[in-house]
Amino acid sequence: MKITSSAVSLNVDDVSASSSFLVEHFGFREAMAADGFASLTRDDAGMNVVFLRRGLETLPADQRDDHARGLILAFVVDDLEGELARLQAEGVTITMPLTAEEWGERAFQVRDPNGVIVQLVDWNGPV
């Protein structure tokens, strides 16, 4: 098998709100969009983020009403403190403060308007 690209698809109630959040605060751009669908990309992300409106008939019946709860959309960044300060200055609510784990991961989290968790991470900080 050869994988030519990657995406994560998340079911949300308001596709436009989640899409706008990643565009405004995380530098994504919409590569494709239609009613109930948006595919976002960044040249450096290595994957697309796809938002699908809950209840879409094109989804299998057992997935239509699922919501993206419990998933964490994580991005590794070079300047974690700088990103934290930038998001706070933009008025984004930090839902998990900057934490450091014993294995070297440092991270903080925000939520988009649909409750999707976005986590920024680095592995460079002291343990």
Q: Encode pLDDT of 6-60 as tens digits.
A: 999 999 999 999 999 999 999 999 999 999 999 999 999 889 999 999 999 888 9
- Determine if the pTM surpasses 0.85: yes
Helix %, strand %, coil % of the chain (to 5): 15, 35, 45
- How crowded is the C-beta side of 71, counted as CA atoms within 13 Å? 16
In single-letter form, the type of residue at position 2 comes to: K
Query: What is the predicted pLDDT for the residue at 125?
Result: 52
Residue, of 127 and 44, whose pLDDT is higher: 44
Pairing of β 72-76 and β 117-122: parallel
Q: Using CA atoms, how far apart are residues 23 and 41, in angstroms rounded to an integer?
A: 9
Confidence of residue 90 (pLDDT cuts 50, 70, 90): very high
For the segment 89-118, the average pLDDT, to the nearest whole number, is 95
Q: Is the pLDDT of residue 127 over 80?
A: no
Q: Is residue 123 a contact partner of residue 103, using CB atoms and an 8 Å limit?
A: no
pLDDT over 70, % of the chain: 97
Q: Is residue 5 a contact partner of residue 45, using CB atoms and an 8 Å limit?
A: no
